[in-house]
Amino acid sequence: MSEPDLHSIKRGWILRFLVLCGFRPIHPRQLLRELRDKNCPTDWHGLNDYLTYLEQKGFVTVVRTVMKGDEKIPEEKKILAVTVTAQGMDFHDNRPADDAGVIL
pLDDT of the chain along its 104 residues, tens only?
A: 455 688 999 999 999 999 999 899 999 999 999 999 999 999 999 999 999 999 999 999 999 877 666 666 666 677 889 999 988 988 888 765 455 566 66
In a domain, 1, yes or no: no
Residues 6 or more apart in contact with residue 48 via CB below 8 angstroms: 75, 76, 79
In a domain, 103, yes or no: no
Segments forming the whole domain that contains residue 59: 6-92
In a domain, 101, yes or no: no
In a domain, 28, yes or no: yes
pTM of the model: 0.81
Rounded to a whole number of angstroms, the distance between the first and last alpha carbons of the chain is: 15
Q: Please count the structural domains in the chain.
A: 1
Q: Please report, for the domain that includes residue 50, its CATH number.
A: 1.10.10.10
In a domain, 98, yes or no: no
